[in-house]
């Protein structure tokens, strides 16, 4: 049994990422055992997703944030491998377009929220607005925000305002039936280096590497602080953050799968039941079919 509670960022607490392991393997005796657990959970998830779709009152929003090479894509692929594609939507948020910059930063997100009965997955998300934008505040100057005319205008109050906006919008979504789970895949500086080198040394993985990734490593500590502040300010009971050890991909995927399955299993999902008249019509249809 995985102890999911130890990965959660307690609401109202000040998070220090140094207190969270990057290389834990938990209670699993081998990679094989963890993969078997993940296989079991993907089968459970398949059934739960079908029930979620039929129940049609809740939606799931899974948010994945991480440093480069932490394993977001692979985690999404492995955990969601058994889910019906019709019931799952994956969106990767890249650099905003000019049209998107002419709206508030939630505008492009709202259009991608999962409808009731579906699972929505954000590979990066609106949290980039308090992560990469916090590390590189010059990006704000392109957003044409009132009162932000130079970097001198970007102060602590500005970031606290954005955290408040995120908390409030997630509260609205949760109140309307969207179950929000947020995952920070916590990879170490050294492990990221190893994965970058593998991408360079393997020609089939060269396409995944960008020289910009090396430049961003220079801002490692800045990103760690940005994540700590964002997670501390926005982890709530209705939209919790989970800090998942990411140095061992097989363990990371298993933990994420377990958390998703447990949360979905806790929802009051059930298949729709027919009323008396509706049931009568079904039986009439059966008689007609049997007679042909």
Residue pair 58/177 in contact (Cβ under 8 Å)? The answer is yes
Q: What is the 3-state secondary structure (H, E, C) of the chain?
A: CCCHHHHECCCCCCCCHHHCCCCCCCCCCCHHHHHHHHHHHHHHHHHHHHHHHHHCCCEEEEEEEECCCCCHHHHHHHHCCCCCHHHEEEEECCCCCHHHHCCCCCHHHHCCCCCCCCEEEEECCHHHHHCHHHHCHHHHHHCCCCCCCCHHHCCHHHHHHHHHHHHHHHHHHHHCCEEEEEEEEECCHHHHHHHHHHHHHCHHHHHHCCHHHHHHHCCHHHHHHHHHHHHHHHCECCECEEEEECCCHHHHHHHHHHHHHHHHHHCCCCCCCCCHHHHHHHHHHHHHHHCC
Tokens of 6: 């130890």
With bands split at pLDDT 50, 70 and 90, how would you rate the model's confidence at 31?
very high
Kindly list the structural domains of the chain, giving each domain's residue range(s) and its CATH number in brackets, ordered by start.
Answer: 4-290 (3.40.50.300)
Neighbours of 88 (CB within 10 A): 19
Q: What is the 3-state secondary structure (H, E, C) of 71-98?
A: CHHHHHHHHCCCCCHHHEEEEECCCCCH
Sheet containing 88-92: which strands, arranged edge to edge?
88-92, 119-123, 59-66, 178-186, 241-245
Confidence of residue 9 (pLDDT cuts 50, 70, 90): very high
Higher pLDDT, 228 or 2: 228
Do 182 and 72 form a contact (C-beta atoms < 8 A)? Answer: no
Q: Is residue 61 predicted with pLDDT exceeding 80?
A: yes
Query: What is the percent of the chain with per-residue pLDDT over 70, rounded to a whole number?
Result: 99
More confidently predicted of 170 and 81: 170
pLDDT, tens digit, 9 for 90 and up, residues 151-208: 999 999 999 999 999 999 999 999 999 999 999 999 999 999 999 999 999 888 888 7
| Strands 178-186 and 59-66, bridge-based pairing | parallel
92-143 confidence digits (pLDDT tens): 998 999 999 999 999 999 999 999 999 999 999 999 999 999 999 999 999 9
Bridge pairing between strands 241-245 and 88-92 = unpaired
Instruction: Please tell me the pTM assigned to this model.
Output: 0.94
């Amino acid at each position: 049994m995985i102890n999911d509670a130890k990965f959660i960022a307690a609401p109202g607490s000040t998070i220090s990422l140094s207190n969270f392991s990057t290389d834990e393997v938990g209670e699993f005796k081998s990679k094989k055992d963890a993969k078997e657990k993940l296989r079991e959970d993907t089968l459970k998830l398949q059934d739960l997703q079908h029930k979620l779709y039929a129940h049609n009152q809740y939606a799931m929003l899974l948010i994945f944030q991480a440093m480069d090479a932490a394993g977001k894509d692979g985690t999404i692929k492995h955990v969601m491998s058994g889910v019906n594609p019709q019931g799952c939507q994956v969106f990767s948020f890249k650099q905003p377009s000019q049209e998107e910059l002419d709206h508030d930063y939630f505008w492009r997100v709202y259009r991608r929220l999962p409808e009731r009965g579906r699972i929505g997955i954000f590979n990066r998300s609106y949290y980039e607005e308090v992560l990469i934008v916090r590390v590189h505040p010059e990006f704000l100057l392109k957003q044409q925000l009132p009162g932000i005319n130079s970097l001198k205008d970007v102060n602590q109050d500005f970031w606290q305002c954005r955290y408040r906006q995120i908390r409030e919008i997630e509260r609205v979504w949760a109140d309307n039936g969207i179950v929000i789970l947020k995952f920070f895949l916590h990879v170490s500086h050294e492990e990221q280096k190893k994965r970058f080198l593998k991408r360079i040394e393997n020609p089939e993985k060269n396409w995944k590497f960008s020289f910009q990734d090396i430049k961003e490593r220079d801002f490692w500590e800045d990103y760690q602080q940005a994540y700590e502040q964002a997670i501390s300010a926005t982890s709530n009971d209705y939209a919790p953050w989970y800090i998942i050890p990411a140095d061992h991909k097989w363990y990371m995927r298993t933990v994420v799968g377990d958390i998703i399955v447990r949360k979905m299993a806790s929802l009051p999902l059930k298949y729709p039941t027919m009323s008396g008249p509706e049931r009568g019509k079904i039986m009439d249809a059966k008689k007609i079919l049997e007679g042909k």
